[in-house]
């Protein structure tokens, strides 16, 4: 989707996000969509062509309209975050004196606990579900293993390069959000599986670890499809996706005593707040232990 703006300040803002903040293309498109929607609202509702002159009253009116249109609190908060970043940038560039979002309160979002696959179901997937010896089937098995064993994101996995596999130290180097590199340890068995699939790759001109039978890099929709297919064989949870395996990785680490900071680093989170969502499962585990072990439970 091509979104362009005539306002030079908006275009400079997106150059700032791309080249200085190094945001992903997906994130930038989301920001552009939010700002375009706000710009359209300013023009149609207040006849304000230049959103750099918008005030807090206009912003609040827009948020009220979003709420009346049944836009979720989560989506509204994202749009608030977009505008906050935009006007903060304008302040820094001395284009505006005040940030009209400074007095806007974000709506509360009900906490949603992350979906995850039970350990017993993960064991069923890798110990009892049949994967044939052909290249495609072994690639799918390895993708599933890597999601669960490392907590890697979908975008990180499909872009994983052969040069990021470090055999000397049994680890992989992952390029995450904001082009931040992180190190994830892998055991020798998984490393051998990676080497085996790389050795079986068809002739290709790409350096991606994972390719199709035609030598092309894997596409997100294809990966999402077979992950959902295989998870459907072992679990009845509603959502079945690569990210659910990432949630499972983190949840099982926490339930087996991993420190929160360590899980944060493995996941590539920028703050502990994002990782703390997994502690609820640890609390449930503690209740289970208490119920089984305490004589008065």
pLDDT tens digits in sequence order for the chain, 297 residues long? 557 788 999 999 999 999 999 888 889 999 999 999 999 999 999 999 999 999 999 999 999 999 999 999 999 999 999 999 999 999 999 999 999 999 888 888 777 778 999 999 999 999 999 999 999 999 999 999 999 999 999 999 999 999 999 999 999 999 888 778 999 999 999 999 999 999 999 999 999 999 999 999 999 999 999 999 999 999 999 999 999 999 999 999 999 989 999 999 999 998 898 899 888 777 777 787 778 887 876
**15 and 125 assigned to the same domain:** no
Catalytic residue among 153, 247, 252, 264, which? 153
Catalytic residue among 177, 182, 216, 228, which? 177
Q: How far apart are CA 234 and CA 297, in angstroms?
A: 32
Provide the β-strand partners of residue 175.
Answer: 181
Helix (H, G, I), strand (E, B) or coil at 182: strand
Q: How far apart are CA 55 and CA 97, in angstroms?
A: 11
Give residue 113's pLDDT: 76
Catalytic residue among 88, 243, 280, 285, which? 243
* Domain region containing 154: 119-292
Give residue 84's pLDDT: 96
Give residue 2's pLDDT: 59
Asked whether residue 2 is assigned to any structural domain, the reply reads no
Q: How many domains does the chain have?
A: 2
Identify the residue whose tokens are 């459907």.
232
Asked whether residue 230 is assigned to any structural domain, the reply reads yes
| Catalytic residue status for 128 | no
**172 and 278 assigned to the same domain:** yes
Give residue 114's pLDDT: 87
| Catalytic residue status for 243 | yes
Give residue 28's pLDDT: 93
| Catalytic residue status for 22 | no
**123 and 87 assigned to the same domain:** no
**50 and 172 assigned to the same domain:** no
Q: How far apart are CA 241 and CA 297, in angstroms?
A: 37
**215 and 83 assigned to the same domain:** no
**151 and 79 assigned to the same domain:** no
Q: How far apart are CA 30 and CA 78, in angstroms?
A: 9
Neighbours of 284 (CB within 10 A): 13
**176 and 231 assigned to the same domain:** yes
Instruction: Decide which of 38, 73, 92 is a domain's last residue.
Output: 92
**88 and 123 assigned to the same domain:** no
Identify the residue whose tokens are 């309209």.
65
Catalytic residue among 32, 140, 246, 247, which? 246
**147 and 259 assigned to the same domain:** yes
**70 and 176 assigned to the same domain:** no
Asked whether residue 108 is assigned to any structural domain, the reply reads no
**238 and 182 assigned to the same domain:** yes
Asked whether residue 97 is assigned to any structural domain, the reply reads no
| CATH code of the domain in which 66 resides | 1.10.150
Asked whether residue 107 is assigned to any structural domain, the reply reads no
Q: How far apart are CA 136 and CA 155, in angstroms?
A: 19
| Catalytic residue status for 103 | no
Helix (H, G, I), strand (E, B) or coil at 135: helix
| Catalytic residue status for 246 | yes
**64 and 191 assigned to the same domain:** no
| Catalytic residue status for 269 | yes
pTM, full prediction: 0.71
| CATH code of the domain in which 240 resides | 1.10.443.10
């Amino acid at each position: 989707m091509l979104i362009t703006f005539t306002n030079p300040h908006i275009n400079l803002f997106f150059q700032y996000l791309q080249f200085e903040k190094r945001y992903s293309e997906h994130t930038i498109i989301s920001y552009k969509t939010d700002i375009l929607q706000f710009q359209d609202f300013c023009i149609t509702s207040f006849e304000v062509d230049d959103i750099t002159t918008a005030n807090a009253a206009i912003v609040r009116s827009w948020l009220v309209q979003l709420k009346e249109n049944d836009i979720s609190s989560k989506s509204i908060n994202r749009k608030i975050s977009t505008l906050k970043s935009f006007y903060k940038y304008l302040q820094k560039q001395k284009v505006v004196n005040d940030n009209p979002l400074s007095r806007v309160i974000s709506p509360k979002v009900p906490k949603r606990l992350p979906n995850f696959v039970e350990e017993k179901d993960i064991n069923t997937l890798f110990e009892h579900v049949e994967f044939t010896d052909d290249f495609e089937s072994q690639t799918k098995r390895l993708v599933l293993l890597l999601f669960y064993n490392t907590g890697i994101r979908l975008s990180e996995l499909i872009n994983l390069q052969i040069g990021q596999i470090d055999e000397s130290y049994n680890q992989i180097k992952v390029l995450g959000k904001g082009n931040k590199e992180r190190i994830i340890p892998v055991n020798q068995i998984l490393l051998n599986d990676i080497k085996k699939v790389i050795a079986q790759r068809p002739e290709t001109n790409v350096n991606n670890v994972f390719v199709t039978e035609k030598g092309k890099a894997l596409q997100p929709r294809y990966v999402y499809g077979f992950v959902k297919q295989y998870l459907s064989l072992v679990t009845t949870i509603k959502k079945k996706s690569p990210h659910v395996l990432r949630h499972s990785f983190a949840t099982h680490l926490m339930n087996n005593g991993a420190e929160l900071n360590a899980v944060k680093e493995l996941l590539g989170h920028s703050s502990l707040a994002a990782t703390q969502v997994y502690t609820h499962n640890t609390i449930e585990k503690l209740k289970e232990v208490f119920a089984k072990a305490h004589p008065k439970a």
